[in-house]
Amino acid sequence: MKERILIVDDQQDIADSLARLISVLGFEAMAAYDGREAVKLAAGFAPDMALIDIGMPRLDGYEVAKRIRRQPTGTNALLVAVTGWTSPEAKHRAYEAGFDLHVAKPLTIDGLEDLLSLVDPAAAGSRAGKIYRLQMSKGA
């Protein structure tokens, strides 16, 4: 079974491009273009990881993370804030909302591969893959 990755960004070109790239890398990917759509998709898609932009209209990424965390399918998902908001306050607020990681835009290919290796047990040699295996050995 392929790991499922949800991409949430109000810039459709970014979300679609990232979803295609993640699919090429061997994952199942879905894109959502606003926060409300993301919360609905997450309930049925049950992502292993969600890459969520913070600055979106109508429902920002902070609220998306909170709502996904309240869903049964979202309690164990790895939530990553992928955003241009990089101040210490923005990072703190992201962690308070339920994000596991905070990553600055633009996301590089190497950075994306490191993130994806967190949900890919086959990512043997990477630093992120080692973190994944450590978390799994602790029963996280």
Q: What is the pLDDT of residues 20-43, one digit of tens each?
A: 999 999 999 999 999 999 999 999
Q: The domain that contains 68 carries what CATH number?
A: 3.40.50.2300
First vs last C-alpha separation in the chain = 20
- pLDDT, position 1: 66
Q: Average pLDDT in the 42-67 region?
A: 95
Q: Domain total for the chain?
A: 1
Write the burial class of residue 32 (CB in 10 Å: 0-12 exposed, 13-18 middle, 19+ buried): buried
Q: Which two tokens stand for residue 40?
A: 């609905």
Q: Average pLDDT in the 92-121 region?
A: 89
Q: Average pLDDT in the 35-56 region?
A: 96
Q: 65-96, pLDDT tens digit by residue?
A: 999 999 998 988 999 999 999 999 999 999 99
Q: Distance between CA 133 and CA 120 in Å, rounded? A: 9
Residue given tokens 């309930």 in the structure block: 43
Residue given tokens 């290919």 in the structure block: 109
Range of the domain at 75: 4-137
Write the burial class of residue 120 (CB in 10 Å: 0-12 exposed, 13-18 middle, 19+ buried): buried
- pLDDT, position 119: 84
Confidence (pTM) = 0.86
